Amino acid sequence: MDLPGSGMKALILAGGYGTRLRPLTLTQPKPLVEFANKQMILHQVEALAAVGVTTVVLAVSYRAEQLEQEMGCHAERLGVKIEFSQEEEPLGTAGPLALARAHLDGTDPFFVLNSDVICDFPFAAMIDFHKSHGAEATIAVTEVAEPSKYGVVVFEEQSGQISEFVEKPQEYVGNKINAGLYILSPAVLNRITLKPTSIEKEVFPFVAADGKLFAFVLPGFWMDVGQPVDFLKGQTLYLQHVRKTAPERLAAGPHIRGNVIVDATATLGSDCVIGPDVVIGASVRIESGVRLRGCTILAETRIQPNAFVTQSIIGRKCNIGSWVRMEGSSVLGDDVVVKEELYLNDAQVLPNKTISTSVPQRAVIM
């Protein structure tokens, strides 16, 4: 039986520098940063492949060779063709579509995704909705608690037809925002020229004015995980989703509290307490008496006895000394050493650094 997206193509916007997620992105492009022990972009590519997408185009720029090498390893496993469209200069969120037009040309609609979005990816339902209205474009939208902080999508609730976009409204006009997932018909490409362009501000308003833009309301959770605080919020939402849909993926045992993912190659010492909302990567060593809460520990890192880490992201191959305390959205790049008994609060530490003194307030360690 054909899948709903059989033969479709997708373009993933993966060309940014990932500045909001530094220092993790100083040694790898943001789409390759692991989220819940899987590279961000793989969450999306696997979901696309599951509905029958056969070609995924990556719009790349920063560390493009690293992305090409890594994703080439996954193409055969997933049964998709992965192509690359290289930007020589930043082209915004619409320019990359013009650059990749040769990859996308045809008669069928195609997906466009922002690479740092995490959600349940209900692509099959989104395809059905796009086919049902038959217009040029579908935008996935998601509900937010404080719409005044965002650009709000105003649309007719029954049909989904979008009438306008209101940036940071001071009066209530709706509570749905652009979720960074689209299905576009090829006609949209005729509206885009090859120059730095915003699809949100310079393309979609004109499609809406022509009555050809519709909103698909995302069910379930959603988060743009492109900065540390939102990365950790998204991790909490993702782990809650796993609890509901695939609880066998979560760790269990006397050391575990709440929703936790532990890679099979990681080791946990005696008397440690892990969770809630923790992800532990491949070959990580958690030693005795360690306390972890609301954090991510990336691959091959060692956490020495009695350290406490909360609301922080620790990069690959780090070494955290005994009795260290880390909190306040601290982020360590790869290969960082933190000496014993130090306190880090909202510290951003660049790769290959050794920290020998406490960082009690926000600081970037160069």
| Active-site residue (options: 38, 81, 131, 168) | 168
CA distance 140 to 138: 7
Provide the token pair at 52: 């029958």
Tokens of 80: 């998709």
Exposed / middle / buried, residue 263 (Cβ in 10 Å: 0-12, 13-18, 19+): middle
Residues 160, 129: contact at Cβ < 8 Å?
A: yes
Q: For residue 168, indicate whether it is catalytic.
A: yes
Residue 208 in contact with residue 162, Cβ under 8 Å?
A: yes
Nearest-CA neighbor of 196 among 341, 50, 88? 88
Cα dihedral 122, 123, 124, 126, rounded to 10, equals 90
Let me know the angle formed at the C-alpha of 359 by 26 and 234, rounded to the nearest 5 degrees.
55
Q: What is the dihedral of CA 340, 341, 342, 343, to 10 degrees?
A: 140
Torsion angle (degrees, nearest 10) of CA 17, 23, 26, 28: -80
Q: Sort 233 into a burial class: Cβ within 10 Å, 0-12 / 13-18 / 19+.
A: middle
Question: Helix 64-78 to helix 40-50 angle, to the nearest 10 degrees?
Answer: 30
A 10 A CB-CB count for 302 gives 18
SS3 for 113-124 is EECCEEECCCHH
Active site residues: 168
